Structure 1
Amino acid sequence: MFEFLGNVLQGIGEALRLNPRVFEIVERYPNTNWVILMIAILGGASMLVGQSVILFVNRVRPGRFVLSLVVNGIIFATSLLIWAIAIWATGQVLFPNDISFRTVMRMVGLGATPYLFGFLVLIPYLGTFIGRVLSVWSFLVVLAGITFLANGALWPALVCVGLGYLLVTVGSATIGRPILAVRNWLFKTAAGTTFDLALDDVLDHFANEKSPPKGGR
């Protein structure tokens, strides 16, 4: 158990630094699957912790709160799986290679590492910016991993990762709407609430409470 936790912590540190050694380990040792899965689930859970104010404002019970964290982590890991499929399929079409989907999936799983700081999105005024920084950081981790698999070929890797991300984004806004609806239903069911108040509403209210009245000194 302690060895497993040590591997998780080591993987997190090396991935955040974009250390090529961590990508080499991921490629060569299939037993890193559970380590990467844990990182992905923790990343998704951390993102929800950052938005936990929604759960408290909507009066989610403690048991439901924990269940919501678990469900969000699983949903987050699933989104990474879809991104990995898009990257792998793009690479097979545009740059035929022998890289297995399982290896690509492990590299994308490492991309969840920056989201361990997801709890910081709760910071007023800076939350949205921090969320975007984490998204870019995650993209760079995945790009570094795919570049390693491509033997240092940056442009093919950038095309695959970028197009994969674009396909997922466009697909979510179009044909993926039913899937998003199911995801939202699962999350609301786990939380036991319809979420009448969203995070942006709460933060806007907080900001207005802290701002001086117009015309005041």
Structure 2
Amino acid sequence: MIDTFTELVGHTLGLHPDGFRMLAAGQVPAWWGVLIALLAALSQGVGHAFILFVNRVSPLRFVLSLVVEAILLVVGFLFWALSTWLVARLAFAVPVRPSAVVLALGVAHAPQLLAFLGALPYLGVPWLTLLSLWTAIAFVVALVEVAGLGAWQAFMALLGGWLVMLLLQRRAGQPLMRLGRGLLNRAAGVQLVRDRRALRALSASGPSGRPPR
């Protein structure tokens, strides 16, 4: 199983057709997609660890915060997968199972396993942008395999699903986003500072939180 898992991740990172054919052949269980998405979310959390360090979060709460952030990212991932499935069903009348779309999107998150490198100075934003494009391409190819869509249809389903998720976040999702931020603050044990200027000021301050003299 481990060999198959690593083979799948390797093929996906290389955008190799064999990896995506494994999805179409039913060789990969749907929960693997969620597992890859969870590992990718943990990698993204490590990339954001600087925020936790600057906010002086204790080691135990540091780990807890990473876990909570990863879970919240996986919830967002599931919303994206289900909204993409909805667009594929309504726009293209494709009888694809929701679990197949979850698997496709989860496997497509394999490049995000490298998201922790986004913490490197000067490399962060360009690297994360590259990973997002990499993930989008992998998702299109995976949708072609699992849903039988054409490449253009798969791209439109991906884009439509993302827009639906964004609309939900801006409308009904606001209370959920506030809940997520509250959970992160509870896990960290402090009111997390995220603004760049505030982070620089906090980083320059002493252990007591006051600027050094």
TM-score w.r.t. structure 2 length? Answer: 0.85
Offset of residue 171 of structure 1: 2.4
Could you say which residue in structure 2 is the equivalent of 1:161? 158
- How many residues end up aligned between the 2 structures? 203
Secondary structure in 2 aligned to 1:9?
helix
Offset of residue 197 of structure 1: 4.5
Give the whole-Å Cα distance in 2 for the aligned partners of 1:199 and 1:43.
24
Which residue identity does 1:196 align to in structure 2? V
Q: Which moved more, 1:29-38 or 1:166-175?
A: 29-38
Q: Aligned-residue CA RMSD in angstroms?
A: 2.3
Could you say which residue in structure 2 is the equivalent of 1:176? 173
Describe the superposition over 1:137-189 as per-residue Cα deviations: whole angstroms up to 9, x where unpaired. Answer: 11111111112234361111111111111221232223211111111112222
Give the whole-Å Cα distance in 2 for the aligned partners of 1:17 and 1:159.
23
Could you say which residue in structure 2 is the equivalent of 1:65? 62
Structure 1 position 195 matched with structure 2 position 192: yes
8 A contact 1:44–1:76 mirrored in 2: yes
Could you say which residue in structure 1 is the equivalent of 2:13? 16
Give the whole-Å Cα distance in 2 for the aligned partners of 1:53 and 1:79.
22
Q: Which moved more, 1:11-20 or 1:88-97?
A: 11-20
Give the whole-Å Cα distance in 2 for the aligned partners of 1:97 and 1:26.
17
Give the whole-Å Cα distance in 2 for the aligned partners of 1:106 and 1:175.
26
Could you say which residue in structure 2 is the equivalent of 1:108? 105
Q: How does 1:23-62 map to 2 (within 5 A)?
A: 23-29=20-26, 32-62=29-59
Structure 1 position 129 matched with structure 2 position 126: yes
1:160–1:152 Cα change, 3 Å: closer
Segments of 5+ residues of structure 2 without an aligned counterpart are: 204-213
1:43–1:107 Cα change, 3 Å: same
Secondary structure in 1 aligned to 2:140?
helix
Identity among equivalent positions (%) equals 29
TM-score w.r.t. structure 1 length? Answer: 0.84
Offset of residue 199 of structure 1: 5.6
Structure 1 position 117 matched with structure 2 position 114: yes
Match of 1:97 among 87, 94, 98: 94
Offset of residue 76 of structure 1: 1.6
Give the whole-Å Cα distance in 2 for the aligned partners of 1:200 and 1:171.
30
Offset of residue 15 of structure 1: 1.1
Match of 2:82 among 77, 82, 85: 85
Give the whole-Å Cα distance in 2 for the aligned partners of 1:167 and 1:16.
27
Give the whole-Å Cα distance in 2 for the aligned partners of 1:138 and 1:25.
18
